Structure 1
C-alpha cells in the first residue's frame, strides 16, 4: 500500500508539472489583444539541438525576407504520437500560436476534433500548390477534402548491413547490393541465420537481423506486404486483412526462432536503457543488419565513421517485386483561432516551400517533400542519394482521424504476439474491435 501511495503521489506531481509547463508556454504566447501584430508565434514539437538549429535558420531567413514580421519559436515537446494536450489547452483557452510543427500523420486527427484552421482559402490563391509536393505527403495533410497543413520534411526506410560481418561469415556483401533489386524476405532471413553467434551459455554475442528492432515495426512489414488498413466503401478499418495478418504471423515465427527473451537480453546488453547514441549493436558491430531510416547516415558519420556498411532495399515477399519503402515526417499547421493568421500562413508557406525545406534538409539531413529539390544534388551526397532515389517508391500510413489510436493498438498487438501472449489472429481481432467503434463516429469518411 505504501508503494501505491508513493506511485499516486509521483503521478500527481508529474501531472501538475505538465500543466505548469503548458501554462508557462501559453502565457508566453499571451492573448491576441496583447500581442505585437507583427509577431508570428511558432510552436514546435521538434526540440533536439540539430532540428532546433535548422528551424532557427529558417526563421532568420524568413525574418530577413519579411521585415514586417518577426517569428518567435516556442518548444513544445510531444508526449507521444497524437498527443494534443497543449494544443487543446491553447485553442480552447483562446491563446493558440500562429503556426505549429506536428507529426504529419496526426493532422487528420487534430483536424477532426476542430483544433486546426482550414488552409484551403489561402491555398486557393496559389492554384496547383499541391503539385509542388510529394503526393503521399500532401495527402497526409488533407482531411475530408480540405487542407489543414503543409508538408515539411520526410524520410525513408531501408536495410543497413555490415559488410565486414558478412565477409567473416563467408557471405559476399554484393548479394545485398541494391543494383540487384530487393532480396526476398526468405533470402534475407537465410543470410541472417548464418550471422548469429552465441557464447557457452547460449546468449547471443552477435545477431544477423532482428526483424522487429529499429524501424522493423508493424507499419514497415504490413505496408511492405500490401496492407490497406481501411475500406473506404464500408468505412471499416481492416486490421485483420491478409497482409497485416501475414506480418504478425511472421513476427510470431521470428520471435520463436530467435527466442524473443534471448534477443531482449542481447539488446539489454549491447544497447541498455539510457545508453548514449553511440552505443547501438549495429554501430558496435554486434548486429549485422538493421532496418533504419536515412537519418541514420548522420549518426553513423558521427558515432561509427569507420564502419564498413552498405544500404539496400527492404525485402519483398516475391522475387522481382519493385522496391518499397514508407515515409513519415512533419507538417506545419495553423491552430484554430490563430491571432496572426495571415502572418502565420506566410511563415508556413515559406518554411514548407523550396527555401525553407532546403535549409532544413542541409542542416538535418532529412529528405524534402518539395519535389523540385530532388534536382538539387547538393542535398543528396553519398548514401543519401540512395534514399533520394528511393522516394519514387514510397508510400505512407493511411491518414485516418483515429491514426494515433490505431498505431497504439497495433503496437500493443505486436508486443503481445512477440511475447507469445496472444496469437496473431487474437491480437489483431482485439485491435480491430478496439479501433472500429472509434472510427465509426467519422463515417462516412473519404481519404483525400
Structure 2
C-alpha cells in the first residue's frame, strides 16, 4: 500500500542548526567537468548510504533502491529512513560533523534553503548535458536549481488533482463523464451532491492542515491567476484577484453545507482516507489516492480531473515529492550521480515507476504500456503539464507552519465573517515580514 505524504513540519531549531552548519564549512567550488561520464552502474565498490524522509512515498523509494541493488550488487544502497520532522536537523548536524550519507532524498520544497546555505554538492557540470533533464518534472527542476546551478534530480513526484465520485455524480443526476471545469461548476455540482442528504457532502476542505491546503486550494488560486507566497525580500505575496475569489468560493462552500463539519479539525492525519470513504463527491487530493481509494473502497467508481480555476477550462496543480541530492561531504559523488542517471533512465522510468503505477518523473515517459492500461494514471499525469512548485527560502514559515499566515488566512476565510480584504491584507503583511528575514 502506498503511504500518504505527510505534510512537512520543520522546527525552528532545525533552521538555526542549518544556519550554523552553513557557517561551519566552506568548500571550493566544483571543477568544470569533474568526474567520469555518468552511467547507470557503480563507479566504485562498497555499499552506498542513503537517507530518505519517512512519510513520503516509501513504496516507490523502496522499489527504486531494490532495482538499483539488483543491478549493482557490488555497490548496494543501504537506505535509512529518518523521521520527517527530524530530517532537516539530522542533515544539518551531519554536514557540520562530516557524518553524511553518500546521497539522500529531500522533500523538494526545502531544497532552495539548503542550496542557498551551500550544503549540497553543485552537480551542474556533471549533469548539464543530460538529455533526460529536458523532460524531467519542471517543478522538481525549478527547486533543484539555485542561481542557475543544479543540485539534484527528481526522486518521485506527487501531483494534486480533482478526484470525483462517479457513483455520487450519477445519484445526483450529474454526468459522471463530465467533471467540473470551473469553480462555478464545482459549486453547482457540490450543491446537487450534498442535496442527496445523509452523511454525503459535495466537497472536502481540510480545515486545520496548512500543507493539505497549499496542495489542493493553492492550485485553485494559481488557476485563477493568483500568486501566493513571497519568493524573497521585497516580493509581494497574495497577488491577483484569484486570491479573494477562491477565498470567497471556499467560504461559500462551508456556509452552504457542502463540506462535513468535522473537516474543520482535519490536520492531515486522516486526509488520505477521506475520498475513499465514499461520502465525498469531489476532493482535491494526490495521485497516491488512486491506490488508497481502491483498497479502501473497491466497488467505488471514480474519475480524476484537473483542479479548476474561476474561468472555464483553467487549471493548475501542485507538484510535490522528493529530489535526490548529494550532501556536502559525500565521498561517493560519482556513484551518487550514477544513481541519478539510473533513476532517469528509460528502463527505470517505465519498468519501475510506471509498472507500479507511480508517476514517471519524465514527461516523455508517460506514454507507456502500463499507463495505457490504467486510464486514471493517464488522467492524473496530465497535472504535470499544469503543475508548479512554490520557490521560496521561507516556505515553512510562510506556508506550512501550523501557526503560519497561510493557515490563519484560510481559517478566517472558511470559518469567520471577517472582511476578506482585511484577511488578505493581514496575511500579506505577515508573509512579507517573514520573507524579509530570509
Q: Same fold (TM over 0.5)?
A: yes
Q: 1:228 to 1:95 in 2, by over 3 A?
A: same
Counterpart pick for 2:192 among 194, 198, 217: 194
Partners of 2:278 and 2:297 within 8 A in 1: no
Counterpart pick for 2:364 among 354, 367, 372: 372
Counterpart pick for 1:391 among 379, 384, 387: 384
Q: 1:433 to 1:194 in 2, by over 3 A?
A: same
The alignment status of 1:325 with 2:323, answered yes or no, reads: no
Q: What is the RMSD of the two structures over their aligned residues, measured on CA atoms?
A: 3.4
Deviation at 1:348, TM superposition (A): 3.0
Structure 2 length-normalised TM: 0.77
Residue 41 of structure 1: aligned partner: 49
Counterpart pick for 2:148 among 145, 148, 154: 145
Structure 1 length-normalised TM: 0.75
Equivalent residues in 2 for 1:349-364 (5 A)? 349-362=341-354
The alignment status of 1:167 with 2:170, answered yes or no, reads: yes
Aligned mates of 1:89, 1:421 — CA distance in 2: 45
Aligned mates of 1:267, 1:286 — CA distance in 2: 16
Residue 264 of structure 1: aligned partner: 261
The alignment status of 1:79 with 2:91, answered yes or no, reads: no
Q: Secondary structure at the match of 2:91?
A: helix
Partners of 2:398 and 2:434 within 8 A in 1: no
Deviation at 1:141, TM superposition (A): 1.1
Residue 92 of structure 1: aligned partner: 96
225-234 or 335-344, which moves further after superposition?
225-234
325-334 or 433-442, which moves further after superposition?
433-442
Deviation at 1:61, TM superposition (A): 3.0
Aligned mates of 2:235, 2:267 — CA distance in 1: 40
Residue 76 of structure 2: aligned partner: 70
Residue 116 of structure 1: aligned partner: 120
The alignment status of 1:303 with 2:311, answered yes or no, reads: no
Partners of 2:163 and 2:305 within 8 A in 1: yes
Residue 225 of structure 1: aligned partner: 224
Q: Secondary structure at the match of 1:434?
A: helix
Partners of 1:46 and 1:101 within 8 A in 2: no
Post-superposition CA distance 1:61-107 (Å, at most 9, x none): 32344454231111112128xx6211111111211111111111221
Q: 1:371 to 1:111 in 2, by over 3 A?
A: same
Post-superposition CA distance 1:139-182 (Å, at most 9, x none): 12111111111112223333222233233233333443xxxxx5
Gaps of at least 5 residues in structure 2 are: 1-10, 15-43
Aligned mates of 1:90, 1:340 — CA distance in 2: 15
Q: Secondary structure at the match of 2:339?
A: helix
Aligned mates of 2:268, 2:310 — CA distance in 1: 34
Partners of 1:44 and 1:74 within 8 A in 2: yes
Deviation at 1:395, TM superposition (A): 2.1
The alignment status of 1:314 with 2:307, answered yes or no, reads: yes
The alignment status of 1:425 with 2:421, answered yes or no, reads: yes
Q: Secondary structure at the match of 1:154?
A: strand
Counterpart pick for 1:400 among 377, 392, 414: 392
Deviation at 1:259, TM superposition (A): 8.2
Gaps of at least 5 residues in structure 1 are: 1-14, 19-35, 177-181, 443-448
Deviation at 1:390, TM superposition (A): 4.2
299-308 or 417-426, which moves further after superposition?
417-426
Deviation at 1:255, TM superposition (A): 2.7
Deviation at 1:235, TM superposition (A): 4.4
Aligned mates of 1:276, 1:235 — CA distance in 2: 35
Partners of 2:68 and 2:339 within 8 A in 1: yes
Aligned mates of 1:274, 1:395 — CA distance in 2: 24
Deviation at 1:294, TM superposition (A): 2.0
**How many residues are aligned here?**
387
Deviation at 1:195, TM superposition (A): 2.1
Q: 1:56 to 1:325 in 2, by over 3 A?
A: closer
Deviation at 1:41, TM superposition (A): 0.9
Aligned mates of 1:140, 1:337 — CA distance in 2: 21
Residue 247 of structure 2: aligned partner: 248
Partners of 1:185 and 1:316 within 8 A in 2: yes
Residue 55 of structure 1: aligned partner: 61
Q: 1:69 to 1:267 in 2, by over 3 A?
A: same
